Amino acid sequence: MFRRHRRLRKNSYIRDMVRETTLSPNDFIYPLFVVEGINIKKEIPSLPNNYHYSLDRLPEVISEINDAGVKGIILFGIPDYKDEIGSSAFDENGIIQKAIRKIREIDKDLFIITDVCMCEYTSHGHCGIIHDGYVDNDETLKYIGKIALSHAKAGADMIAPSDMMDGRIEEIRTTLDENGYKNVSIMAYSAKYCSAFYGPFRDAADSAPKFGDRKSYQMDPANAREAMLEIEDDIEEGADVIMVKPALAYLDILRTAKNRFDVPVAAYSVSGEYSMIKAGAKMGWIDEKAIALESLLSIKRAGADMIITYYALEASKWLK
């Protein structure tokens, strides 16, 4: 005798009762791009419906975020000034530091995560300090610690380093603790792959490397076992949350990480994942809402406890 699986698919009532995975605005973290200047709300061409905001225009997006029911943002800054050591990244009056203080004034509860990396701030576009054409790991760590501390001082709730230097979590944890920021948490971009899916973001953040590529620090897309080692080290060094990035092409990594580690797992559904759906929808070839929600659901099903997505606001509205 065969099993009648269709019994539990009979109508929406029973389907609603047996559903294993659901999406809610609580799952989403919205990436927010801030720029210097005044009265700027400029659409990012490669990320339709996402914008560069100057600080004076933040109140309107914060209220959209609140209306959508989204609780967390991850901040990215586009500075006016870049140099070899990315000094605007740790400047007390840098774009991110000012943005954090401004957002705190507008909304004291919104959960502010900051991306800690140097590529948007360095003249060469790499995620660290260059020595002889190579990103110097240990030299970079000192800067990563400084950047993280400046974000914490400005009022960030959580620090998310995306540079992929070895030992950065330990460096950040120690720096934060020594300076009285024991309660600022860390979300580690642990398994961050060297991915072509970041293409549209590099437009948005003007952060493409001016020479070479990121293969000597970001992970090889072919490797799964190595991701577990990266994650294990980050947890040991003090990460509160670990991340897999990108999401859709790396669902296997997400699932393995989820099964193996007892910390919350974040997934970053990156710019290319978003832009492909937007482009397909614009061509009229796919149903944007259905595809976006199905993609997000698959990321959650694969094990993500939270998803950084450019769809955060749109998806939250669709879910209402």
Active site residues: 192, 245
Q: Between residues 107 and 288, which has the closer beta carbon with respect to ligand PBG?
A: 288
- Which structure tokens are listed for 120? 């948007």
Q: Could you identify the residue written with the tokens 């296997």? A: 252
Distance separating alpha carbons of residues 178 and 285, to the nearest angstrom: 54
Contact characters 189-228, ligand PBG, x per CB under 6 A: ---------x--xx----x---------------------
Q: Residue 313's CB: how many other CB atoms inside 10 A?
A: 21
117 is in an annotated binding site: yes
Instruction: State yes or no: residue 74 binds ligand PBG (CB under 6 A).
Output: no
| Footprint (CB under 6 A) of ligand PBG, residues 222-251 | none
Contact characters 100-119, ligand PBG, x per CB under 6 A: ---------------x-x-x
Instruction: State yes or no: residue 88 binds ligand PBG (CB under 6 A).
Output: no
260 is in an annotated binding site: no
- Torsions phi, psi of 245, nearest 5? -150, 135
Distance separating alpha carbons of residues 52 and 204, to the nearest angstrom: 8
Contact characters 124-143, ligand PBG, x per CB under 6 A: ---x----------------
Give, in order, the Cα–Cα distances in Å from 258 to each of 2, 14, 22, 243, 253. Answer: 33, 28, 17, 10, 8
Q: Between residues 157 and 163, which has the closer beta carbon with respect to ligand PBG?
A: 163
Q: Between residues 245 and 258, which has the closer beta carbon with respect to ligand PBG?
A: 245
Which positions ≥6 away from 238 have C-beta within 8 Å? 169, 170, 172, 173, 186
Q: Between residues 208 and 224, which has the closer beta carbon with respect to ligand PBG?
A: 208
Strand, helix or coil for residue 186 = strand
Distance separating alpha carbons of residues 54 and 168, to the nearest angstrom: 30
Instruction: State yes or no: residue 162 binds ligand PBG (CB under 6 A).
Output: yes
**Binding-site residue ranges for Zn(2+):** 117, 119, 127
User: Which spans of this chain sit near ligand PBG (rule: CB under 6 A)?
Assistant: 115, 117, 119, 127, 162, 198, 201-202, 207, 270-271
